[in-house]
A and B are shown apart, each in its own frame.
Chain A
């Protein structure tokens, strides 16, 4: 029965890249420019290890990441180790373990590859270089605005035009469920439908699970996308409503937006109250970054106030990460397409 098929065997794993000199130079230059920008903004670079103990890091990993992580046994102890699938939980671990007594705000940045098993999907490789920051300590809107401005300013620094930061807050959605005794499977289905912007499904589910006023509000999230006026309209719509969490979230977003606008980046922010996707450790504002020419998000972040707390040290935090691959693609296209001295080459000289 067994037919020994002579499959040609891959010489390198799927989803990982080997960079030859031109790309390697481009990637290192990109990393250096981004890290340099973060450093000048007061963020100090840290270097997390490539591996962690799975049992330590698993409780703070976003949903689905444990299943997609690469694990292997530690020779000495037999405990499972994991190739880091996300940097933020590592930094949380580092802060809780090594800096628990440090009460001043911490501003860290990092460049690190993360490893996740991925089926073929747009923008998903198995080894991804992430360059990011974490602002640990402050819980106020100015910290949220600070990292948003940092994200938009670093793209500007790289000469990438037309960036759009889609800003949302899971509290908007969660507040609308308050008082309705919707069960977890229904909540998950509602969240999935909203994440997909599936109007038919969301409407049907909301009308089943929520009082009609709340259902109407839930449906209105689908159309709550646009500039700052979305927040004004939402504040009016949800006024006097007992959804305290929803109102709070909208106030917070308004506060953040005002600060980002003041810094001159208001036009790059797209408010999207239907944005509920993302890693489940986010407790406050969340955002995704998009740029013309790339069909998926090039980065994203948000506020995660309970993550470090899960290691026993209460420390609100906020941050974001950029994926190097799409940025490299943009920079490489420009380098190949445009004459020397154009765009990136000229703008990126500060720190060299």
Chain B
């Protein structure tokens, strides 16, 4: 009936750009496995001496695993949470993996767009993105009609080949935008890696889950938790 620090937990780590940082953080709180490296092909790891399993899944799937309770805890980018809005808790901002989600369009600079914006000519603006929900909410807030074109990658190509007028995409240094003569119109959101927790696990295994969150929070530089 009671929850103890020995409750078994499963933690989902995201494949891709956040994997290395996630593995490093887990190692710092004693959750490691000899085979667990960013290059690993193995997908599931039992941590010796801990009732803890680590699994590696696609970053877009981390919220799903956690929402269904298959994993109790997950590490995932805020961009995925904004896009998918899963019914999970997100108690901790890990601070790493910073990137921005921006609206961009062809041009040399904001002052010199490739095609001057002429909203009077737009019946519907076409926007290519891999974040259709974030994009839809942004334009809803603005009260503007939009046709969203869902792509899976190389979003920056879409305006260059005439598939879309604008894009909503993730930007790290901005080099990709510049390389494709795209300029930022507006920042929609900032994203860092977050810890997410299944709502039932937070209640039924709360000592263990809380312990892990506090250990991870303890690794954060002072002040970063406060955002």
Contacts and interface: CB of A to CB of B under 8 A. Distances in A.
A290 B199 CA distance: 9
A291 B204 contact: yes
B227 A121 contact: no
B174 interface: no
Given A122-B69, A200-B225, A292 B204 contact: yes
B152 interface: no
B93 A295 contact: no
Contacts of A203: 225-227
Interface in A96-151: 121-122
Interface string A249-268: 00000000000000000011
B90 A196 contact: yes
B89 interface: yes
B2 interface: yes
B134 interface: no
A292 B227 CA distance: 33
A164 B204 contact: yes
Interface in A144-191: 161-162, 164, 166
B204 A297 contact: no
A127 to B, nearest CB: 19
A200 B200 contact: no
A290 B91 contact: no
A226 interface: yes
Contacts of A196: 88-90
Contacts of A292: 204
Given A200-B226, A200-B227, A290 B203 contact: yes
Of A196, A203, A272, A291, most B-chain CB atoms within 10 Å: A196
A198 interface: yes
A270 B1 contact: no
Contact of B200 (A161, A197, A222, A295): A295
B201 interface: yes
Given A122-B87, A197-B197, A295-B69, A290 B204 contact: yes
A294 B90 CA distance: 19
B70 A295 contact: yes
B91 A166 contact: no
Q: Is the interface of B mostly helix, strand, loop or mixed?
A: mixed
B203 A294 contact: no
B93 A200 contact: yes
A297 B199 contact: yes
Interface in B184-204: 197-204
A199 B92 contact: yes
A259 B60 CA distance: 45
Interface residues of B, number: 27
A162 B206 CA distance: 13
B203 A164 contact: yes
Interface string B1-31: 1100000000000000000000000000000
Nearest to A274: B89
A322 interface: no
B68 interface: yes
A201 B227 contact: yes
A191 B173 CA distance: 33
A199 B1 CA distance: 29
Contacts of B93: 199-200
B67 interface: yes
A72 interface: no
B209 to A, nearest CB: 10
A6 B48 CA distance: 53
B89 A294 contact: no
Of A122, A267, A294, most B-chain CB atoms within 10 Å: A122
A121 B67 contact: yes
Contacts of A200: 92-93, 225-227
10 contacts: A166-B203, A198-B90, A199-B227, A204-B226, A222-B91, A226-B206, A267-B2, A268-B1, A291-B200, A297-B199
Interface of A: 121-122, 161-162, 164, 166, 196-201, 203-204, 207, 222, 225-226, 267-268, 270, 272, 288, 290-292, 294-297
Interface of B: 1-2, 67-70, 86-93, 197-204, 206, 210, 225-227
